[in-house]
């Protein structure tokens, strides 16, 4: 076990050398006193998302609690940022409430476009120890309560190369075209995540093709096949620390694996130039809603069940992502092609829907009007905007979209 993890566990307020068992515990009617501490724990199952190439992972672990009379299972959920923050978020629920389980799982998996791949307890512990160590190495605190999962952080798990290969195949979605390989590979190298890039290379020794660029996010990539077999040209728009760059390179491929990347150029561009490259239309509907929408949440409509939600001031922003990451498998990759649309409830009297095309906006409208909230919403405006507006509106201090859009157009920012 890495010394940093061991010290963190020993200094936890809840640390005890002797594990808690169910012996001697008396239960009250209804199981009000039952918890994960009132029973021994028996491993039942675990999964990991196949999203390592996107730079994030989610892990779920289920335990049986045989000594409990009522709360006979424990479900743990972990969210991991593999690049910097490591083990970032944690939540646990007791018992077998399917609706609660799905609600919590969605907050950890929704938006990842992931398959849930079964893993062993040993594999789960190896991942937990690796990314707990990464968090501590980068001076980030492990999520609390640590005592609920400290058993996963010891004893140390050591993997041999064959075991690591098997776990990599579970964490990483299989690629099917050169475009998919190139986009994932460049995502990882711009993120300085050479460990994951190596999964897509013919050699485990991967070098950074743009070492002078800071850690970056790949926003857009245009791939062109060249005359030479397996050779592709890439024009990449990346963002690093609120600055944008155009990075051009050539990628040599062989059997869906990267042989070599040669840098051609890399230069900064303005925010205006980046906005032009990312320019897209937004198809927006504005609805007037009544006080029933105060209860609007991820369970309110059929499609919202697959959304992610976050609060923005008094409002709620729901993003409906596509169910997979098929947008990566394209010669014209854009990070903005990852979702169907957005719902934004201002917390008062307005619901704004945004889709990237009429078809997607129609799906969102249908979703609202065919839900229990349909009779509480009236469509008052529908328009196609030539430049992105919705995120700036959500982050503004204004409550009503049409007033915001009118002001922005008047100022000449959305012509």
Selection from 222, 184, 223, 226 nearest residue 201 by Cα: 184
Domain's final residue, options 134, 168, 202: 168
256 shares its domain with 288: no
List phi, psi (to 5°) of 340. -80, -40
pLDDT score at 26? 40
pTM: 0.80
- Cβ neighbours of residue 371 under 8 Å, at least 6 residues apart? 300, 301, 302
Give me the pLDDT at residue 4, please.
60
Strand partners, 289: 377
| Orientation of helix 161-171 relative to helix 121-137, angle to 10° | 90
pLDDT for res 15? 39
DSSP symbols for 375-400: GGEEEEEEEEESS--HHHHHHSS-S-
DSSP state of 51: B
pLDDT of residue 5: 60
Tell me what pLDDT residue 249 has: 98
Residue 2's pLDDT is: 58
> Looking at the structure, do residues 148 and 248 belong to the same domain, yes or no?
no
Identify the pLDDT of residue 387: 82
Structure-token match 């049986």, residue found? 64
Q: pLDDT of 82-109, one tens digit each?
A: 988 999 999 999 999 998 998 899 889 8
| Predicted local confidence at residue 312, as pLDDT | 87
What domain range includes position 10? 3-168
At residue 307, the pLDDT reads 82
Are residues 257 and 378 located together in one domain of the fold?
A: no
Of 145, 168, 191, the last residue of a domain is: 168
* DSSP secondary structure letters along 179-248: HHHHHHHHHHHHTT-HHHHGGGBSSS----S-TTSPS-EEEEEEEEE-SSTTEEEEEEEEEETTEEEEEE
Length of the chain: 415
Number of domains in the chain: 3
pLDDT at 322 (0 to 100): 81
Mean pLDDT of successive 10-residue stretches along the chain, which has 415 residues? 56 40 40 82 97 95 95 96 93 93 87 89 97 95 96 94 91 95 97 94 92 94 95 96 93 96 96 87 96 92 85 89 87 90 95 94 96 97 91 89 88 52
197 and 329: one domain?
no
Q: Are residues 19 and 141 in the same domain?
A: yes
Task: Please tell me the distance from the alpha carbon of residue 208 to that of residue 237, in angstroms, as a whole number.
Answer: 17
The answer to whether 265 touches 289, Cβ cutoff 8 Å, is no
Q: Are residues 133 and 152 in the same domain?
A: yes
Please say whether the dihedral angle defined by the alpha carbons of residues 22, 25, 26 and 29, taken in this order, is positive or negative.
negative
Judge if 130 and 210 occupy the same domain. no
Residue 415 forms part of a structural domain: no
Domain boundary among the residues 255, 276, 297 is at: 276
Q: How far apart are CA 87 and CA 76, in angstroms?
A: 13
């Amino acid at each position: 076990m890495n010394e940093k993890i061991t010290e963190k566990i020993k200094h936890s307020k809840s640390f005890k050398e002797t594990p808690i068992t169910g012996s001697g515990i008396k239960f009250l009617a209804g199981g009000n006193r039952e918890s994960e501490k009132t029973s021994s724990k028996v491993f039942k199952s675990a999964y990991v998302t196949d999203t390592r190439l996107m730079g994030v992972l989610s892990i779920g672990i289920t335990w049986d609690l045989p000594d409990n009379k009522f709360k006979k299972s424990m479900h743990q959920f972990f969210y991991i940022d593999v690049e910097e923050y490591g083990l970032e978020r944690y939540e646990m629920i007791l018992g077998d409430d399917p609706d609660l389980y799905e609600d919590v799982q969605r907050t950890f998996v929704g938006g990842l476009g992931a398959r849930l791949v079964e893993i062993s307890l040993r594999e789960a512990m190896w991942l937990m120890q690796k990314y707990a160590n990464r968090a501590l190495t980068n001076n980030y605190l492990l999520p609390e309560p640590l005592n609920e999962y400290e058993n996963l952080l010891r004893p140390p798990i050591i993997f041999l190369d064959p075991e690591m290969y098997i776990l990599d195949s579970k964490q990483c979605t299989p690629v099917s075209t050169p475009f998919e390989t190139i986009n994932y590979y460049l995502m990882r190298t711009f993120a300085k995540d050479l460990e994951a890039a190596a999964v897509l290379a013919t050699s485990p020794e991967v070098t950074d093709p743009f070492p002078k660029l800071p850690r970056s996010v790949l926003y857009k990539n245009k791939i062109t096949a060249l005359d030479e077999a397996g050779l592709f040209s890439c024009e990449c728009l990346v963002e690093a620390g609120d600055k944008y760059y155009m990075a051009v390179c050539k990628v040599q491929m062989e059997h869906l694996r990267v042989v070599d990347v040669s840098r051609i150029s890399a230069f900064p561009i303005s925010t205006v130039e980046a906005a032009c490259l990312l320019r897209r239309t937004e198809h927006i509907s504005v609805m007037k809603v009544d006080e029933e929408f105060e209860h609007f949440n991820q369970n309110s409509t059929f499609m919202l069940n697959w959304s992610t939600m976050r609060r923005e001031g008094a409002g709620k922003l729901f993003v409906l992502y596509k169910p997979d990451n098929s947008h990566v498998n394209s010669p014209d990759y854009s990070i903005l092609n990852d979702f169907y649309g957005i719902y934004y409830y201002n917390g008062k009297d307005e619901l704004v829907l945004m889709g990237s095309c009429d078809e997607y906006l129609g799906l969102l409208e249908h979703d609202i009007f065919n839900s229990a909230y349909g009779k509480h919403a009236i469509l008052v405006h529908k328009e196609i905007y030539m430049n992105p507006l919705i995120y700036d509106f959500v982050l503004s201090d204004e409550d009503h979209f049409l007033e915001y859009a009118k002001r922005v157009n008047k100022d000449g920012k959305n012509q």
